[in-house]
Amino acid sequence: MMQVMIRLALHLLALSPFAYYLYAALNQTLGADPQEVLLHGFAIWALRFLLLSLAVSPARRLFKANYLIRYRRMLGLYFFFYLCLHLLVYLWFFLGWQWVTIGEEIVERPYITIGMLAFLLTIPLVVTSTKGMQRRLRQTWSKLHKLVYPIAILSIIHFIWQSKADLNEPFVYLIILMFLLSFRIRPYLAKLRA
């Protein structure tokens, strides 16, 4: 029962940014440039959920809290949910579903190319996120899901490149990512030294 309550609370918390943006959009309180607010807001929440999912393993080790692993998949799926919303806002409000323009944007703007690549790499992780797929793929599943690291790096590059003038916010997320990746790199460095 307690687990169900925790999961419900986490789902409500994870959906609260979406509920806020939906409410604000319907009430026209997103400011002078609502499309930009939605685009940036959904992108930031996607990145936050991605970093939270990466933080699960280090937190589990540091605090000896094995139960945290139960919530990693949920965090990863919310990353994909907000990523899809970010992409939807861009395609709908900024490009008006003009497929020729979409192709040109992907080719001509490197930060869009990087963002699209990160999105495409995320799809196989979502498709194989179920326990059934984990059982079927076995060791391949673990290797496939290491794609989350290049996805995170590409996401930060996308954020930095499109930020142009103000780089303070993307660099905060870059530092957080570097800190989280250091937990993965340390064991490899220890093996190399040995």
Q: What is the 3-state secondary structure (H, E, C) of 148-160?
A: HHHHHHHHHHHHH
Q: How many CB atoms neighbour CB 92 within 10 A?
A: 12
The secondary element (H helix, E strand) that includes residue 30 is: none
Q: What is the distance, to the nearest Å, from the Cα of residue 95 to the centroid of all Cα atoms in its chain?
A: 22
Triad 118, 70, 60: Cα angle to 5°? 85
Model pLDDT, residue 159: 96
Contact 44, 89 (CB under 8 A): no
Enter the tokens of residue 3: 């687990």
Model pLDDT, residue 189: 63
Q: How many CB atoms neighbour CB 115 within 10 A?
A: 25
- How many residues make up the chain in this entry? 194
Model pLDDT, residue 191: 64
Q: How far apart are CA 105 and CA 58, in angstroms?
A: 37
> Using the 8-state DSSP alphabet, how is residue 76 labeled?
H
Model pLDDT, residue 2: 77
Per-residue pLDDT of the chain (194 residues; tens, 9 = 90+): 778 888 999 999 999 999 999 999 999 999 999 999 999 999 999 999 999 999 999 999 889 889 899 999 999 999 999 999 999 999 999 999 998 988 999 999 999 999 999 999 999 999 999 989 989 988 899 899 999 999 999 999 999 999 877 889 999 999 999 999 998 887 666 666 66
Model pLDDT, residue 184: 83
Query: Which residues in the chain belong to E strands, given as ranges?
Result: none
Contact 40, 63 (CB under 8 A): no
Q: How many CB atoms neighbour CB 169 within 10 A?
A: 14
Model pLDDT, residue 194: 60
Q: How far apart are CA 31 and CA 37, in angstroms?
A: 8
DSSP-derived 3-state class of residue 62: helix
